[in-house]
Amino acid sequence: MPAININLLPQKDFEKTPLGKLLSWSLSYGRYIIICTEIIVLLAFIYRFSLDRKITDFNDEIDQKSAIIQANQEFEGKFRNLQGRVGQIGGLITDQNLMVQVIHHLEQITPEGIKLTTLNISNTSVSLSASANSNQDLALFIYQLKTSNLLAQINLTSLSKNAGGQALFTIDAAVRPRPGALAGGTP
């Protein structure tokens, strides 16, 4: 029996029909498009593995750094506590220097006829009670306080005379902030 050739595609003018053009185009260029699409899908699949590896590395790095932070948390707490105490000590030293300056200044400007009975010094104010042997000593003391470069807002809050003729008085004053004292140094 002779071989029979069966061809289901019509031979005549089939390539000119829309179906023929589509079939011809898909058999020639369509396979290239499919191959390119498969290559892109494979590249995306391979890139996904590299991204997964990077994510795993980042998670490991985060875990390591979290462990380091937790291990140093106690040290950081101690360090912050120490920093706070150093700041407080620095403030106390500055306050102490200011108080010493105020006492030294009062010692220099107080006339011999004035005797201090109480002296209260804070960072911002001075309050003192004293007795004066004469009105001239009291006037000189008040003048010295008013012209002082360390004290301001001098207020004579009470004034009386005792039986011995001495003037008893109380003075309140504000301490002027000095640039050296605020910075923690001596002016």
pLDDT at residue 171, rounded to an integer: 92
- Which residue, among 99, 108, 114, 96, has the nearest Cα to 171 in the 3D structure? 114
Secondary-structure percent of the chain, ordered helix, strand, coil, rounded to 5: 60, 20, 20
| Residue 13 CB contacts under 8 Å (≥ 6 apart), including other chains | 20
pLDDT at residue 98, rounded to an integer: 77
pLDDT at residue 100, rounded to an integer: 83
Q: Does residue 172 form part of some domain?
A: yes
Say if CB 102 and CB 150 are below 8 A apart: yes
Q: Does residue 106 form part of some domain?
A: yes
Q: Does residue 109 form part of some domain?
A: yes
pLDDT averaged over 10-residue windows placed end to end, the chain, 187 residues: 74 75 83 91 93 94 92 89 88 74 87 90 88 90 89 89 88 77 40
CA-angle at 61, arms to 60 and 65, nearest 5°: 120
pLDDT at residue 9, rounded to an integer: 61
| Residue 169 CB contacts under 8 Å (≥ 6 apart), including other chains | 129, 130, 131, 132, 138, 156, 158, 159, 160
Distance CA 93, CA 90 (A): 5
Q: Does residue 123 form part of some domain?
A: yes
- Say which residue the tokens 């008893």 belong to: 168
What is the CATH number for 151?
3.30.1360.100
Distance CA 164, CA 62 (A): 83
Q: Does residue 112 form part of some domain?
A: yes
Q: Does residue 113 form part of some domain?
A: yes
pLDDT at residue 179, rounded to an integer: 54
Q: How many CB atoms lie within 10 A of CB 169?
A: 20
How many domains does the structure of the chain reveal?
1
pLDDT at residue 18, rounded to an integer: 84
Distance CA 180, CA 187 (A): 5
Q: Does residue 44 form part of some domain?
A: no
Q: Does residue 83 form part of some domain?
A: no
72-74-79-81 Cα dihedral, nearest 10 degrees = 160
pLDDT at residue 102, rounded to an integer: 85
The domain of 118 spans 97-182
Distance CA 43, CA 173 (A): 83
